[in-house]
Chain A
Amino acid sequence: MLQAPLAAIWLPDAASKNAAAYDPLFYFILGVNVFFSSLIMAMLIFFVFKYRHREGRPHDPTAGHSTALELTWTIIPTMLVLVIFYFGFRGYLHANPPQVIPNADSVTANGAMWNWTFTYANNHTDPELHLVVNKPTNMELQSADVIHDLDIPAFRMKKDVVPGRYNKEWFEPTVASAPPATVLVWHDSKPVPAAFVADEDGYYGVYPNNSEFPIATTDLVPGESLSFEKKDGKSVAVSMHYGKRVETALDFETAPEYAWKKIDFYDVYCAMYCGTGHSIMLAKCIVQTQDEFDRWMAHQIVWEPRMSYVDRGKELAGQMGCVTCHSHDGAAMTGPTWKNLYGSTVELNGAPSVLADDAYIEESILLPSKKIVKGFEDKMPQDFGTKLKPNDITALTWYMKSISANYKGDMKVGLKVGAAMKAGHPATQPTTVPAGTPSPTSEPPAVTPH
Chain B
Amino acid sequence: MSAITGPLPHGHGDAATGHTGDSGKPDNYLTHGKGIASWIFTLDHKRIGLLYMGGVLTFFAFGGFFAVALRTMLWSPHVNDNSAAATASFNLYNNFFTLHGAVMVFLFIIPAVPAIMGNFILPMQLGAKDVAFPRLNLLSLWIYWLGGLFFVYLLFSGVYHAYASAHGWQHDTLPGGFGLDTGWTFYTPYSSSKAMGSVTMAVMGVFFLGFSSILTGVNFIATMHTLRPKGMTWFRMPLFLWALYATSIMQILATPVLAITLLLLACERLVGVGIFDPRLGGDPVLFQHFFWFYSHPAVYIMILPAMGVISELMVTFSRKHIFGYNFIAMSSLAIALVSFLVWGHHMFVSGQSPLSASIFSLLTMAVAIPSAVKVFNWLGTMYKGDIRLEVPMLYALGFIYLFTIGGLTGLFLASMSTDIHLTHTYFIVAHFHYVMMGSTLFAFLGGMYYWWPKMFGRLAEKKPGVIAFIFVFVGFNLTFFPQFIMGARGMPRRYAFYLHKFEIFHRCSTIGAYTMATGLVLAGINLLMALRTGRKSPDNPWGGSTLEWATSSPPPHDNFNYTPVAGDPYDLHGLEYDEKIGGWVRNEEVAKKSREASHHHGVAPA
Q: Which residues of A contact B (CB under 8 A)?
A: 9-12, 21-22, 25-26, 29-30, 32-33, 36-37, 40-41, 43-44, 47-48, 51-53, 57, 59-66, 68-70, 73-74, 77-78, 81-82, 84-85, 87-96, 98, 113, 145-147, 149, 151, 153-154, 156-160, 162-165, 167, 200-201, 219, 221-222, 241-242, 244, 267, 269-280, 323-325, 327, 331-334, 377-379, 382
Contacts and interface: CB of A to CB of B under 8 A. Distances in A.
Contact of B499 (A93, A159, A267, A382): A267
Which of A63, A66, A69, A201 has most chain B Cβ within 10 Å?
A63
A63 B423 contact: no
Given A63-B9, A147-B187, A91 B77 contact: no
B409 A87 contact: no
A326 to B, nearest CB: 9
Dominant SS among interface residues on chain A:
mixed
Nearest to A52: B387
A332 B84 contact: yes
Interface in B316-338: 318-325, 327
Contact of B284 (A61, A153, A162): A162
B365 A145 contact: no
Interface stretch (B238-246, B489-497, B549-557): B489-497
B354 A85 contact: no
B3 A66 contact: yes
A87 B415 contact: yes
B16 interface: no
B361 A88 contact: yes
B424 A272 contact: yes
A170 to B, nearest CB: 12
B359 to A, nearest CB: 10
Contacts of A160: 349-351
Contact of B501 (A52, A98, A200, A324): A200
B350 A271 contact: no
Contact of A275 (B3, B5, B195, B404): B195
A47 B319 CA distance: 13
Given A10-B488, A331-B84, 11 more contacts: A29-B418, A63-B324, A81-B414, A84-B365, A89-B416, A160-B351, A267-B490, A274-B190, A276-B91, A325-B82, A333-B82
A85 B412 CA distance: 10
Interface residues of B, number: 113
B411 interface: yes
A82 B365 contact: yes
Contacts of B357: 92
Q: Which 6 A-B pairs have the closest CB atoms?
A: A91-B417, A153-B490, A164-B278, A64-B4, A88-B415, A65-B6
A343 B45 CA distance: 69
B463 interface: no
B354 A98 contact: yes
A379 B196 CA distance: 11
A151 B3 CA distance: 51
A13 to B, nearest CB: 10
B500 A201 contact: yes
Interface in B381-416: 381-389, 397, 400-401, 404-405, 408-409, 411-412, 414-416
Given A61-B320, A276-B181, A26 B369 contact: no
A326 B318 CA distance: 64
B597 to A, nearest CB: 8
B318 to A, nearest CB: 7
Contacts of B164: none
B474 to A, nearest CB: 15
B185 to A, nearest CB: 8
Interface stretch (B370-378, B454-462, B511-519): B370-378
B421 A51 contact: no
A61 B319 contact: yes
B528 interface: no
Contacts of B294: none
B395 to A, nearest CB: 13
Nearest to B412: A29
